Structure 1
Amino acid sequence: MSWLPMLGLTALPHLGGLYGGYVTRKQVKTWYTTLNKPSWRPNNAVFPIVWTTLYTGMGYGSYLVWKECGGFTEDAVVPLGFYGLQLALNWAWTPIFFGAHKLKMALIEIVMLTGAVGATMVSWYPVNRTASLLLTPYLAWLCLATSLNYCIWRDNPDEDEKEE
């Protein structure tokens, strides 16, 4: 049963991803098609593949940190606390953007998320370098996603006004 924590912590991020996929699926075919989007936006089919990979990497990284800290110990409070914060922010973005159609709020939220991922990486590095480096593709993808969110907000100025 020593594999159970690894499996559980690796799978954990996918729970929010499944909910996010549920929220997104309907909106991608309806509301999202009405938005002005930049030409460099990745194809919609890329997103589930990328997020599955990123969630697996961050989940496994959290397991490495958990294991190195001896579980949920005092040593784990800061690195796993930052991880929990970024995970909550990650899970919150989709309902804000796709569910509530709040483009500006989603932009502010994803900037906070990106900062929280950076803080998580910094806190993980002295504990387990591999775990920290597993978050590098996630941080890079968030930079792209933040740029995309910004462009969509900028190019759809009436959207937030209609919702407020």
Structure 2
Amino acid sequence: MTNPASRTHRNTIGFLIIAAFFQMMGGLMGWITSGSVDGWYQTVTKSPLNPPDATFGIVWTILYVLLSVAFWLVWKKEPSKERTIVLLLFTGHMILNWLWTPVFFTFHWLFPAYALILVLIFTAAMIAWLAFREDKRTIFAFFPYLLWLCFAGHLSQYIWIAN
């Protein structure tokens, strides 16, 4: 039998690893595409609702922390088929999330980037529903994330159509 202090320590370490990984991947994608953000992206026609560039880094840092919490809440549940499905879908979703950045900023594939946002919105909603069934607190991470994805969808669609 595991003592509660050991389990708490393991859970804390697990969360820190997940959070660090999510932030590291977001930072890596930002670093890889920083040249395009400072160059090409400044020349495209953007939505009147487009926020200042600095907003994106702040928002994604917060969202990655929230998503780390949601992933961790499901991860620390007792192993089950449902938990495994949520974690696999969540992992695949995050890979697509991180791939969006080079698709848009490096390759300038505007329609595929917009289509990918639509896939992200759909899969995030599906994962939110499944994760909510595992731990109701995950909705606090997924609700702002889904709102941001919808807003990002607008921005991406506008850039695709206007350019």
- The two structures have a TM-score, normalised by structure 2, of 0.89
Match of 1:15 in 2: 24
Match of 2:3 in 1: none
CA root-mean-square deviation: 1.3
Match of 2:66 in 1: 57
Match of 2:57 in 1: 48
Quote the Cα distance in structure 2 between the aligned partners of 1:93 and 1:128.
28
Which among 15, 20, 24 is matched to residue 6 of structure 1?
Answer: 15
Which SS does the other structure have where 2:111 is aligned?
helix
Per-residue deviation at 1:23?
Answer: 2.6
Match of 2:38 in 1: 29
Whether contact under 8 Å (1:65, 1:127) holds in the other structure is yes
Which segment drifts farther, 36-45 or 17-26? Answer: 17-26
Whether contact under 8 Å (1:103, 1:153) holds in the other structure is yes
Which SS does the other structure have where 1:23 is aligned?
helix
- The two structures have a TM-score, normalised by structure 1, of 0.89
Quote the Cα distance in structure 1 between the aligned partners of 2:43 and 2:15.
41
Match of 1:159 in 2: none
Which among 74, 91, 101 is matched to residue 94 of structure 1?
Answer: 101
* Aligned-partner residue type, residue 135 of structure 2: N
Deviation string, structure 1 residues 18-46 (Cα, Å, up to 9, x no partner):
12211332112110111011121011010
Per-residue deviation at 1:67?
Answer: 0.9
Match of 1:116 in 2: 123
Quote the Cα distance in structure 2 between the aligned partners of 1:69 and 1:137.
26
Q: Which runs of no fewer than 5 residues in structure 1 stay unpaired? A: 157-164
2:112 is the counterpart of 1:105: yes
* Aligned-partner residue type, residue 31 of structure 2: Y
* Change in CA separation of 1:75 and 1:30 when aligned onto 2, cut-off 3 Å: same
How many percent identity over aligned positions?
31
Quote the Cα distance in structure 2 between the aligned partners of 1:15 and 1:78.
24
Structure-to-structure mapping, 1:143-154, within 5 angstroms = 143-154=150-161
Whether contact under 8 Å (2:19, 2:69) holds in the other structure is yes
